[in-house]
Amino acid sequence: MLKVGVVGGTGYTGVELMRLLNGHPEADIGVITSRSEEGKTVGEVFPSLRGHVDLAYESPSALGLFDCDVVFFATPHGVAMGQAEELISNGVRVIDLAADFRMKNLNEWEKWYGTDHAAKHLLAESVYGLPEINREEIKSARIVGNPGCYATAIELGFAPLLSSQLIDRSSLIADAKSGVSGAGRKEDLGIIYSEVGDNFKAYGLAGHRHHPEIVETLNSLPGGDVKLRFTPHLLPINRGILATLYADLSDTSERDVRKAFENFFDNEPFVDVLPLGQFPDTRSVRGSNYCKIGIQVSEDSQSVLVVSVLDNLVKGAAGQAIQNMNIMFELDEKMGLNAPGLLP
């Protein structure tokens, strides 16, 4: 049985981690920390977990974290990099759901996150936690940087096309939409109900922090540098990412495109490539760790459209983090994550 710690257990990703870990047969939550709710029980803060997670929040410096096998950081960026070295030095493996260990390019990271990185020397050994691309490296990693939610949907949608060199790498467009929970559990005028309800808007038009993460990951695939235009949008729903992706095709057919997706995701437990003519919606993955993908080649065979859908709190955050934990500790990758999407 793995002893698990959760740092920052009061945000949406933190409570989702607790919900999913509660049903994991090989994980036992031993420590949950929070600055704001220290001393309160989890059930007081989240009644949905009353009777399921019978722990009180401890200080973020809780010594019990050093007795854990793995510690998840469900915190804003800048927290994990301040604690990771001491934890891994004591044999604790770290999975950061924020951005501290997602990128190798330090200059780009500091530019987009507006601060110095406090653990530069750990970036070389950290592993980007997208199992469909980095599974072998994740197995032995001491530090995993869990991908962003937009990034996961977009990278999974483009990866088969790039790896098979079927598209013009300079032509990538990602038009992506997120539910409001992607902004986190916080007080912010822009995400309150009366601002978001009955509304739909683009944001981050001058640039989004997931953009350099996506480009760095896609550049690691065969074929050279990519050029990507990425525009995020806010949907008036709680959960879900829907990314509509476009690229110009090389001289190829719809059969080649479908074969590329089927081959790339062959035996991948959490990516579902839908049959020809079918496209996913956000409710088909709600509450699940699945990414569902639909593909359409244009009538003139000059371009391809990909629809990639996932739950931003599960495959886009907590579920993928647990998937990484399963890989790191040689457990069945699907353990604790087998549930299908919730309908209606």
pLDDT for position 231: 97
Closest CA to 92 of 32, 170, 161, 5: 5
pLDDT at 62: 86
> Which residue ranges of the chain lie beneath pLDDT 70?
none
The secondary structure element, H or E, covering residue 327 is helix 319-328
CA separation, residue 164 to residues 159, 253, 259 (Å): 8, 13, 10
Active site residues: 149
pLDDT at 181: 85
pLDDT in tens, 151-189: 999 999 999 999 999 999 999 999 999 999 887 787 777
Q: What's the CA gap between 257 and 248, in Å, rounded?
A: 12
User: Whole-angstrom Cα distance, residue 50 to residue 63?
Assistant: 25
pTM (2 d.p.): 0.96
Q: What is the pLDDT of residue 100?
A: 97
Amino acid identity, position 247: A
pLDDT of residue 197: 84
Please, what's the b/e burial string for 162-196 (b: 16 or more CB within 10 A of its CB; e: otherwise)?
Answer: bbbebbebebbbbbbbbbbbbbeeeeeeebeeeeb
Can you tell me the distance from the alpha carbon of 308 to that of 211, in angstroms, rounded to the nearest whole number? 16
CA atoms within 13 Å, Cβ hemisphere of 79 = 20
Cα separation, 150 vs 250, in Å, equals 26
- Which residues, other chains included, contact 215 with Cβ-Cβ below 8 Å and sequence gap of 6+? 226, 228
Domains of the chain by start residue, with CATH: 2-146+315-328 (3.40.50.720), 150-311 (3.30.360.10)
- Tokens 């088969």, residue? 160
